[in-house]
Chain A
């Protein structure tokens, strides 16, 4: 017989052995598969979220042919702009566009005055993708054809073929739905974008459009800064010029949900690790349960490798099949909410690109399960069969084993209610197998840690949405200067302080693709902003600046360096960096300074007034008072959107992951209790034979459950506080301090949840125990 044939036969034997192992305890196999399925679902969901949200922008940018540079300016002659852009180096293509803002758009039951008409040069590249219907045709002459952005279509329930009213243009017909990730989608973005053919409108109104946007594609994206440098040198005569690069576009989107998405992705990665850990732990416990079988196999002379191989293969098969199914279920459960989240950001779901990673994850789960079962089985098979048949564990012999055996014997002798009653008896039964109990506590701890992390995230999201102080902003309102100026605002009851604020969005003058938001206040900055100082010191005088760590990282800039900001008027303001701060807003690409240099570079800048409220004063109370003196207030938000639909979608994503995670906990408890009940069948039968009713059995199993659940909660708390929370913060926003630690209430909630799970698991296992006649158990004893 050839070597290959021999190997084939050996594998065949191994396979048959593994199948027979799985068949020999079908209920146990189903239970194990259920556990793997739940862990797989969690892992699948985590991976789907991670890939879906993590790469959403890049996918959408590629799909929609997002330009490398978008230049916005006051209306210009198209020929003049074309000549300027065509003169730039590294320009591959260019498309002019005219945006008309604040147009009334109406459709059936919906209406907005914030319509943004995009008049497209239909002979040029578009910079958007069509997700439904058709595009505006090249050289299109039908001014009644329109595209609407996907967000608007979803929000208003619009479809291809519907009509909408657009300002003075009247009724237009929707011929396609588009997507372009150069901003978040309506209604997350206030502007509802409708695309129309520029040439068609020119023909209809017999006029020449002035363009106010230029979409530029480069030959080499890495040299966009060279293109921008030349563009800057030729901007004379073009007013209100702003360049937005892909980095800038990403920042615009991140203003709405960047931190949230980063948190979710980081959370998913942690959840993925947790799920695989649980799977490994569960596979190892399966082997522990099969130790007598291994003992019999070894006693009848089955080789050690075959024993371990069969166990590994059996676990691997469960990992592959149940894990694969779980991955699929998890992906399907989370795909909907994840897709909604991406749509809100004008991004596209991964679609088919998910198949390969999910398949890879399934294989990984199979491999982890096989390894987690095969290795302990190999170790166990190395022990004397007698020890295994007497109820050995995975731990090698020696002092520890003898100690364990003695303790089990003592437990067996004392298997009757003591001072702690039946609850205590249950605890003793579980603790008699400390390895398994430890594994279950670990699973519960990891799962609970993830749940606590999620609750921490939820609190943080609320804070980021509602509370400016969460991002180091001490003022709650901004107002336009009333007649009396700052003094009049200061005099309003409830106002603690007020000062002029200049907020300028520009770019780093030496790396023009890098956006910078600079906020300037007269006098001491910490009156209005106090993000934690990471390095250096606070601003003390003109010409000094504190920069966010995000900006410092992006520009490779540190204390002592020079921040040069390119302003929209073409001027440049320079500051000496005196400190870096952990600021969260705008991805940390922020800077705080006094206004002197800004005003020197752009004397036309106009401030608003930042208003800090007295402690305990409500915005709703002070707002009307400010309005009364002619200072209409604007509430200062946090670092994320306050859009309800968007936050609801986020909540759905979190809930879906939480539900899967909860299932993992419940499963781990049920499995541990079922195993204990199986092993302590004679004890439980004896109890019942002595007249113990169902509630007594429930109490015993509840005790067993609690002794696992309560330490599990403690481990969850420690893991979340010491490992998960810092890890997620670092992964999501290394440039800022994110308070993702769960509150005391959340910790108590999770502990309570574990107790409930212990009750449910105890009740479920007790029902199975009492369904069996006691005599069966007594016979085994």
Chain B
């Protein structure tokens, strides 16, 4: 039967209307979250914020790149970023932690000043945080990922093995945090997620479940930090201390008499504790712990050797100094600058200085990024490095760790200056890595675009970040995230003189 034209038109209109409504509904449903773009890890798009100040983190707007022209001559126009030369990612101070280790000293926290607190409410989740950070880095797809030290917390074999697995990919067996943070620990100085606010029932059980880490897809270069080669980042492993580390007793509460003997001066207090640890004494109440030979304390060369064996570092006579060229435009020099004896006032290492000289002089027209752990002004060796960098016109930036703070400052030198970057720790708020992209600019200069990388969405890593944010002894009150000028910035460098 033939349908009259009017009826057909009506039917078509109704059909179009229905179809349109369905499409609209689908768009509304699918696009309902347009206000909250999905987290890619890049803080240029979206990042976590505490909008109400109540300690509850939510996804919020990202931070755009801010131009920093500090090194450009006055009066010159801001050059437009040109060709991309290389992209590098930085992860630092992950502090993968065997929380129940007898060789740790969290009990000193309660003595207050001069000791910096070392317990962190999120410390049972360091491996999950590292794994979530690697996911974000993989999404960035850099030509090189540098890990600028303190990969582990306490210079232990089991920590290093787990951290290497997390970086390389594979089955990771996290550490059990029940000893300090279990609900049955009647010591309220430690956050016990099953009972203390914010309550996270079952968190410790979930945290100790083995998981498969994706590992970093691209090339990786690790330089050790002080926590990788020294016990607690301070003390050279002695035979007595090695015995404590693999032993079956853990100090729970320091003897009040011992506490009273500790000097209040920071340096003297640290020396007193170092002496105590070196002697392997446990002054106070102890608790039984399962003796674990994998808690073996490592020497610096052992750490570098194992990293090199895993393909994560070079081994230059027990040091992880290395050079990585990223195409023809960028050279990354990694300096293993941590004193091995725990003494910051050690002598200058001529071999390392010569290595840096060679690396700088052979860079050619490449822009140079120099990565290390300890700040260069801390040791005589570091200060000697700094003097050499000051004379190198193509050094674009130094990339450091250790401070757990985001900071970007210009270093003005006769050869045109460079940028000094330190990056916050994955172990503390804001638990971010850093992306670095080198671009040419017109006239022979360069610009380093850098932005922070949040960890990829992951229930345990997200919980770790929330706890890190709440931590009254951690990165939030410490202002570790710096200011906007220390995070997502475009750092201009003029053409070499």
Chain A residues packing against B (C-beta within 8 Å): 84, 86-90, 92, 218-220, 223, 225-234, 236-237, 509-512, 564, 566, 570-574, 601
Given contacts A87-B473, A89-B470, A564-B195, contact A233 B189 (CB under 8 A): yes
Assess the A572–B52 pair: CB atoms within 8 A: no
Q: How far is the CB of A515 from chain B (nearest CB, A)?
A: 16
Assess the B53–A90 pair: CB atoms within 8 A: yes
Assess the B54–A220 pair: CB atoms within 8 A: yes
User: Bound state CA distance, A90 and B473, in angstroms?
Assistant: 14
Q: Closest chain A residue to B113 by CB distance?
A: A237
User: Bound state CA distance, A509 and B192, in angstroms?
Assistant: 11
Assess the B186–A229 pair: CB atoms within 8 A: no
User: Bound state CA distance, A566 and B196, in angstroms?
Assistant: 12
Verify if B188 is at the interface (C-beta below 8 Å from A): yes
Stretch at the interface among B104-112, B172-180, B412-420: B104-112
Contact of B54 among A223, A225, A233, A601 (CB under 8 A): A223
Residues of A within 8 A of B119 (CB): 233
Most buried by B among A87, A89, A218, A574: A89
Interface of B is mostly: loop
Q: Closest chain B residue to A224 by CB distance?
A: B197
Assess the B477–A92 pair: CB atoms within 8 A: no
User: Bound state CA distance, A574 and B183, in angstroms?
Assistant: 11
Interface residues as binary, B123-156 with A (CB distance below 8 Å gives 1, 0 otherwise) = 0000000000000000000000000000000000
Interface size on B, residues (CB 8 A): 31
Verify if B472 is at the interface (C-beta below 8 Å from A): yes
9 smallest CB-CB distances across A and B, nearest first, come from A87-B477, A220-B54, A89-B55, A236-B112, A230-B472, A225-B197, A237-B112, A219-B53, A510-B195
A and B contact pairs by CB, cutoff 8 A, 20 listed: A87-B477, A88-B472, A90-B53, A219-B52, A219-B55, A220-B54, A226-B55, A226-B470, A229-B198, A233-B188, A233-B189, A233-B472, A234-B117, A234-B473, A509-B196, A510-B196, A512-B197, A564-B186, A570-B188, A573-B186
Residues of B within 8 A of A574 (CB): 186
Verify if B268 is at the interface (C-beta below 8 Å from A): no
User: Bound state CA distance, A86 and B117, in angstroms?
Assistant: 17
Given contacts A223-B56, A570-B189, A572-B186, contact A236 B472 (CB under 8 A): no
Q: Closest chain A residue to B469 by CB distance?
A: A89
Verify if B67 is at the interface (C-beta below 8 Å from A): no
User: Bound state CA distance, A515 and B12, in angstroms?
Assistant: 71
User: Bound state CA distance, A676 and B191, in angstroms?
Assistant: 77
Assess the B472–A234 pair: CB atoms within 8 A: yes
Q: How far is the CB of B450 from chain A (nearest CB, A)?
A: 28
Q: Closest chain A residue to B471 by CB distance?
A: A230
Assess the B188–A566 pair: CB atoms within 8 A: yes
Verify if B476 is at the interface (C-beta below 8 Å from A): yes
Assess the A219–B195 pair: CB atoms within 8 A: no
Residues of A within 8 A of B472 (CB): 84, 87-89, 230-231, 233-234
Assess the A219–B54 pair: CB atoms within 8 A: yes
Most buried by B among A86, A225, A234, A601: A234
Assess the A236–B188 pair: CB atoms within 8 A: no
Contact of A86 among B109, B190, B477 (CB under 8 A): B477
Most buried by A among B111, B112, B186: B186
User: Bound state CA distance, A743 and B188, in angstroms?
Assistant: 50
Verify if B36 is at the interface (C-beta below 8 Å from A): no
User: Bound state CA distance, A230 and B55, in angstroms?
Assistant: 11
Most buried by A among B109, B190, B470: B470
Q: Closest chain A residue to B121 by CB distance?
A: A233
Interface residues as binary, B436-475 with A (CB distance below 8 Å gives 1, 0 otherwise) = 0000000000000000000000000000000001111100
Contact of B188 among A87, A218, A226, A509 (CB under 8 A): A509
Q: A230-B470, A230-B471, A237-B113 are in contact. List 19 more A-B contacts (CB 8 A).
A: A88-B472, A88-B477, A89-B470, A90-B54, A90-B55, A220-B52, A220-B56, A228-B197, A229-B197, A232-B188, A233-B190, A236-B111, A236-B112, A236-B189, A509-B196, A510-B199, A570-B110, A572-B187, A601-B186
Residues of A within 8 A of B109 (CB): 236
Q: How far is the CB of A670 from chain B (nearest CB, A)?
A: 62
Q: How far is the CB of B464 from chain A (nearest CB, A)?
A: 15
User: Bound state CA distance, A84 and B113, in angstroms?
Assistant: 12
